Structure 1
Amino acid sequence: MNKKNFLGTVCAAVALAAVVSACGDGTTRSTGWEFSRNMYDPIAFNPDQPNKNFKNGITAQTPPTGTTPIGFTRFEFPNTTEGYEAAGAQITVNPLERTEQNLKDGHALYVTYCAVCHGPEGKGNGAITKDREVDDSRGKRTLENFPEPPSYGQSEGTPSSRGGKMSELTPGKIYHTITYGWNAMGPHASQITPEDRWKVVMYVQELQKK
């Protein structure tokens, strides 16, 4: 038997053995041999599984105090009036470099998350502050208007509800407000990454100059 025929015979035998071993005998529920079982039976515990390796028997342990999760950027200022004032006093310069690309990204993020309330030019005339109607299966009805937020513009000299002029808000105060929200504005920490928040701050500061 030449080498080619020999290899063909071996391959056919292996294939036949695999097929036969994978078939049941009609009386059991066996699925036959399993390949690489550890690929779908994880060795690690699932977070919600009991775990005897810990004293409290829980797999998902509370992280040690002071630790920072991977990929998480900690903001040291708390969601308080004191934290807001401290952020404003200590962060007076945007940590990101003012570049054309960062401003462009900040504008895109502002349009996505902020303009609906604050307006495209930051004047507080966003779409949801205007009269709106909807006509659907429940008929035509008027939607609730949200109050207009104060304008960022320097020329308008609008006061902030937390003191000072909107045009004079420091990067720290703007970032703090984006992170935690204020009044009718909800927090955006779960929607905008820390770096992108600084890009929004950069763009808002451009609106403050108008």
Structure 2
Amino acid sequence: MKSIYKITLLVGIMMLASSCHNNSAPNYQYFPNMYESVGYETYSESNAFKNGKEGQLPPDGTIKRGFEVYEYENSTAGYELAKLNSKSPLDTISEKEVAKSKELFEIYCAICHGNEGNGKGKLVTQGKFLGVPSYKDRVITEGSVYHVQTYGLNSMGSYANQLNQHERWLIASYVINLKSKL
């Protein structure tokens, strides 16, 4: 008797499942774009944006959150003005920040300028770059070092994308400290 109930239940479930399927009227699809998405070719033009080529640009005159404007321009005159007038906003540097500035210098600067600031970094000793100056021979200030890190100078590129303003000021104070030791 129990097997008759089991067989009847099984047949009933099969009939119920097969009655829900209808090829002429398929079930509703929620979020159909997830199931049948449009394939886009990489780097192709898209009509998703107004001009068809670029993403949306921020409005003119806006700056990103947390960005502080640097008032000296990227020119020789701007470099000279920064050398004369630009001062570090860091009043005191803690021991932790001194260690951080040394670490940052060794990561970003020592490969060319050397750990002592003598212009004999690993790339210079291997002959990859020539003419990297020693800090001993240069007339530099914290402002000029910060300016060079921000915009770059000669064959040295800008580090504004790798280092924030606080880190660049830390490195500038570390470079001046190295110069005094040479």
What TM-score do you get using the length of structure 1 for normalisation? 0.61
Q: 2:56 aligns to what?
A: 60
1:24 and 1:88 mapped to 2: Cα distance?
A: 79
Conserved 8 A contact 1:89-1:172 = yes
Structure having the higher helix fraction is 2
Residues paired across the two proteins, number: 148
State whether structure 2 residue 150 is matched by structure 1 residue 179: yes
Contact 1:24 1:31 survives alignment (8 Å): no
Partner of 1:199: 170
Structure 1 residue corresponding to 2:89, chosen from 81, 95, 98? 95
Query: 1:30: how far off?
Result: 5.5
Residue 130 of structure 1: how far off its partner (Å): 1.5
- Show CA shifts across 1:33-54 (max 9, x none): 46xx9xxxxxxxxxx7335xxx
Matching residue of 1:49: 48
Tell me which residue corresponds to 1:104. 99
Could you tell me whether the CA contact under 8 Å between 1:180 and 1:188 is conserved in 2? yes
Question: Which structure 1 residue ranges, 4+ long, deviate > 6 Å from structure 2?
Answer: 56-59
| Percent sequence identity over aligned pairs | 34
- 1:155-174 alignment runs, 5 A limit: 158=137, 166=138, 168-174=139-145
Q: 1:61: how far off?
A: 3.9
CA distance in 1: counterparts of 2:121 and 2:24, whole angstroms? 70
Instruction: Name the structure 1 match of 2:108.
Output: 113
Change (3 A) 1:28 1:148: farther
Which residue of the partner structure matches residue 161 of structure 1? none
Q: Distance in 2 between matches of 1:125 and 1:109?
A: 18
Query: Partner residue of 1:149?
Result: 132
Using the alignment, how far apart are the partners of 2:74 and 2:21 within structure 1?
63
Structure 1 residue aligned with 2:118: 123
Mapped contact 2:49–2:56 kept (Cα < 8 A): no
Local SS of the residue matching 1:209:
helix
Which consecutive unaligned segments of at least 5 residues does structure 1 have?
1-19, 38-47, 132-143, 159-165
2:151 and 2:89 mapped to 1: Cα distance? 19
List alignment gaps of at least 5 residues for structure 2.
Answer: 1-16, 35-46
Report which of the two structures shows the higher radius of gyration computed on alpha carbons.
Answer: 2
Deviations 1:77-133 (A, max 9, x none): 111011111111211x321132212211111110000000000010000000113xx
RMSD in angstroms over aligned alpha carbons? 3.0
Alpha-carbon contact 2:151-2:158 (below 8 Å) kept? yes
Contact 1:118–1:148, Cα closer than 8 Å, also in 2: no
TM-score normalised to structure 2 length: 0.69
Letter in 2 for 1:73: E
* CA deviation vs aligned residue, 1:12-37 (integer Å, no higher than 9, x gap): xxxxxxxx9xx974557756446xx9
